[in-house]
Homo-oligomer: A and B are copies of this chain.
Amino acid sequence: AELRRLVQDVARVGELARELQDSAANLISRTSNEEQALRQRAVGLDADLRRIQTSVNAAVRRGGTLDAKDADKLDEELCRARWLISDGDVGSLLPNKSHGRFLKMFLGPINVRAIRKDVRLKVKEEYNNYRDRTAFMFLLFPSMLLLLRAWVWDGCFPAWPVQLYQAWLLFLYTSLALRENILRANGSDIRPWWIYHHYCAMLMALVSLTWEIKGQPDCASKQKGVQLFLEWAVMQAFAMLLQNRYQRQRLYTRIALGKARRMDVVWGETAGVDGQLWLLCPILFILQGFEAYVGMKLLLIASEGLVPEWQVVVCGILLVLMAVGNFANTVQTLMVKSRF
């Protein structure tokens, strides 16, 4: 009797499993058919939009029939329609835009785009949390090295703690660059420069790893480059902490306003956080100035022949490049924002 019951149970669950599998296969194929249909409608509509936009532009150029106010209204409506297709729920069904070479290089051609919007927001939030967690380490690690050097190590870095730090830095920047590329694939509006900035920082961490850390005698002058590098890192950590605070509040405000979408910004984001930006930016400018100063100083050291390694030159150039790029992009961000 017990055996019969067991056999029946097993047959029953086997049957249930097959049914479930059929339902799942059915759901997947049905969904992918419907997605396909929507995708075709989207592609068709996109072509229509382009055509009409061209006509509107032509009409505006010709003048006469269309006055400026009408043209603006038409433009706005077209823009809104385009945004619905590219960024709304339709957008998540469209074939993936290429994720960019960086992601492809590391991950291959996988899909990192989340379909549901709440998941996309969670990715962003997790990114902010990650930055918070690391910013702390980011400040602590180089500060400790600099303090230990003064108090314990007699003015002389031993090689391995510094190299450990540099390896960690390389990992950190790689991870940030990957995550930001993923955010971008999920529709974030991040300026390309902030990602390039992390590529530069990755390169710098890599180069600094090959940088030989010379010991006694006279290490203070031989290690000048390393010291400057660490001072830059401490300062970078401050920038990151400030920026995190601002970005987190910004995201929360946007979620609270239900405006976690790209175009809403263009349509007038006047949330309270933008005031903070005017407070944050002067500090950022000072830090960027310091970044350029450290870069110049490294180049100076190299040109004086105190530390004749190519690594010093490369790091110096990268720092100056990053400072200029950061400055230019911060200014551009401010200009775009102040236009609304």
Q: Which residues of A contact B (CB under 8 A)?
A: 2-3, 6-7, 9-11, 13-14, 16-18, 20-21, 23-25, 27-28, 31-32, 34-35, 38, 41-42, 45, 48-49, 52, 55-56, 59, 65-66, 70, 74, 77-78, 80-82, 84-85, 88-90, 92-93, 105-112, 114-116, 119, 122-123, 126-127, 130, 159-160, 163, 167, 171, 174-175, 178-179, 182, 206, 209-210, 212, 310
Q: Which of A14, A34, A81 has the most CB of B within 10 A?
A: A81
Residue A10 contacts which of B23, B35, B56, B93 (CB distance < 8 angstroms)? B56
Residue A116 contacts which of B20, B32, B107 (CB distance < 8 angstroms)? B32
Given contacts A182-B107, A209-B209, contact A88 B24 (CB under 8 A): yes
* Residues A52 and B9 in contact, CB atoms below 8 Å apart: yes
Given contacts A3-B59, A77-B10, contact A163 B85 (CB under 8 A): no
Bound together, the chains give a CA A215 to CA B28 distance in angstroms of 62
* Contact partners of A24 in chain B: CB under 8 A: 38, 88-90, 92-93
Q: Would you call the interface of chain A mostly helix, strand, loop, or mixed?
A: helix
Q: Which of A16, A93, A210 has the most CB of B within 10 A?
A: A210
* Contact partners of A116 in chain B: CB under 8 A: 28, 32
- The distance from the CB of A58 to the nearest CB of chain B, in whole angstroms, is 10
28 CB contacts below 8 A, A to B, read: A2-B65, A3-B65, A6-B52, A6-B66, A9-B52, A10-B56, A10-B77, A13-B48, A13-B78, A13-B81, A14-B77, A16-B48, A16-B81, A17-B85, A18-B84, A21-B84, A24-B38, A24-B92, A27-B89, A27-B93, A28-B93, A107-B179, A109-B123, A110-B114, A110-B182, A160-B310, A167-B206, A167-B210
* Contact partners of A35 in chain B: CB under 8 A: 27
Residue A6 contacts which of B21, B59, B82 (CB distance < 8 angstroms)? B59
* Residues A114 and B115 in contact, CB atoms below 8 Å apart: no
Further 13 A-B residue pairs, CB within 8 A, beyond A27-B35, A28-B116, A110-B112 = A6-B56, A13-B49, A14-B78, A17-B49, A20-B42, A21-B84, A24-B90, A24-B92, A27-B89, A107-B175, A109-B122, A110-B114, A163-B210
